[in-house]
Amino acid sequence: MRQVKLGLWGAEVSEVCFGSLAISPLQGRVTEAEGVSVLRYALDQGINWIDTAEIYDNYGQIAQAIKDHPDVRVVSKSYSVSAEDMSFSLEKARTALNRDTLDFFLLHEQESALTLKGHEKAWEELLRAKEKGIVRWIGISTHAVAGVRAGALLPGLDVIHPILNYQGLGIIDGTLSDMQDAISFASDLGIGIYAMKVFGGGHLANNPEKALAFTRSVPGVQGIALGMSSREEVDYNLLLMAGKEVPQALQEKVKHRKRKLYIADWCQGCGLCLEACPQGALSIEDTVSVVNAEACVLCGYCGRVCPHFCLKIV
Ligand code: SF4
Ligand code: SF4
């Protein structure tokens, strides 16, 4: 598999990063054991890094899969605000992943310079952790153009994980062209870029060739995180990435079922899910939560905050 270098001073990794949200309990597509099996299979095919986050709640799954793969790199992220929060997040990841040194750790979903200012203490702790050798590369993930631009100017930042797809789906504060410009700006500063949501949370899955080709063609993008929850999806994506023909039988197997966010009718209208949605896709209407399916990227982040377990991706 093609190897890429993330930015000027980043790691050498496979072009495809395994997006583990797809096998995590947040998305509920597979059991924990099935997820481990898919992940192991992907590693055997040459994918050598994994994207996760503290909120995906799947460190245990990853730890099992990487047990015999000490060279596989793991990216995690947290929403930490204070230095103490970040220190806790780093220790949690080191313990649960069974790794003394973390490869990558990011501040999760930073929207702008203002958001980063609010997380300043956590960032400083991340810088200290990097100095001490607790983590090798640090950065941010973001759904925002302003997040990419602000992150690029953070001293010590190595990598940015932005949302990017050919329709600009999920970008919360600008156009696709704005995002491309911001990525180019960050890349010119030597920062490594690996894109997320290249299939727009499933909305662009009917034309995967176009989705992959577009993201790979954006100057400054070195890697792509792809969420996969079956061996067939791994095979399918890797054939596409290699520019090879996908056999008809395999195409049939991975035909993307249209997924959606299901909101149970016992919703209490408390509004907690609205605050958790990075896309602003939820609103309260007639005292219950409703989703704008066009805006929803099926990340599953809302489900974890609902006290009544109303939200599920089906
Ligand atoms: S509604 Fe839920 S699943 Fe959809 S984008 Fe928002 S947080 Fe993610
Ligand atoms: S968090 Fe749950 S109960 Fe509250 S509004 Fe959202 S879906 Fe309804």
Nearest-CA neighbor of 104 among 93, 116, 115, 118?
Answer: 93
Alpha carbon of 27 to ligand 2 centroid (Å):
17
283 in contact with ligand 2, CB cutoff 6 A? no
Cβ within 8 Å of residue 130, ≥6 positions away: 136, 137, 138, 156
Which residues of the chain are in CATH 3.30.70.20 domains? 261-313
Pocket perturbation via mutation, ligand 2, pick of 267, 284, 285, 304 by most ligand atoms within 8 A of CB:
267
Residue count of the chain, please give it. 314
Convert the pLDDT of each residue in 144-201 to its tens digit. Answer: 999 999 999 999 999 999 999 999 998 999 999 999 999 999 999 999 999 999 998 8
Which residues of the chain are in CATH 3.20.20.100 domains? 3-254
Pocket perturbation via mutation, ligand 1, pick of 261, 272, 285, 290 by most ligand atoms within 8 A of CB:
261
Nearest-CA neighbor of 24 among 182, 229, 175, 164?
Answer: 229
Torsion of the alpha carbons at 243, 248, 250 and 252, rounded to the nearest 10 = 130
Pocket perturbation via mutation, ligand 1, pick of 284, 297, 304, 305 by most ligand atoms within 8 A of CB:
297
Ligand with smallest separation from the Cα of 202: 1
Cβ within 8 Å of residue 217, ≥6 positions away: none
What's the pTM?
0.90
Q: In this predicted structure, what is the pLDDT of residue 258?
A: 74
Q: How many CB atoms lie within 10 A of CB 33?
A: 10
Convert the pLDDT of each residue in 82-105 to its tens digit. Answer: 999 999 999 999 999 999 999 999
- Parts of the chain with a pLDDT under 50: none
Domain covering 261-313 in this structure, CATH number: 3.30.70.20
Domain covering 3-254 in this structure, CATH number: 3.20.20.100
Whether 210 and 240 have beta carbons less than 8 Å apart is answered as: no
Q: In this predicted structure, what is the pLDDT of residue 229?
A: 92
CA distances from 131 to 56, 79, 103, 116, 127 (A): 27, 21, 13, 20, 6
Alpha carbon of 292 to ligand 1 centroid (Å):
9
> Closest ligand 1 atom to the C-alpha of 170?
5
Pairing between strand 282-285 and 261-263?
unpaired
Q: In this predicted structure, what is the pLDDT of residue 8?
A: 94
Pocket of ligand 1, beta carbon within 6 A: 261, 276-277, 279, 281-282, 291, 296-302
Query: Which residue's alpha carbon is at the smallest distance from atom 6 of ligand 2?
Result: 273
Query: Which residue's alpha carbon is at the smallest distance from atom 7 of ligand 1?
Result: 277
Pairing between strand 282-285 and 135-142?
unpaired
Q: In this predicted structure, what is the pLDDT of residue 257?
A: 66
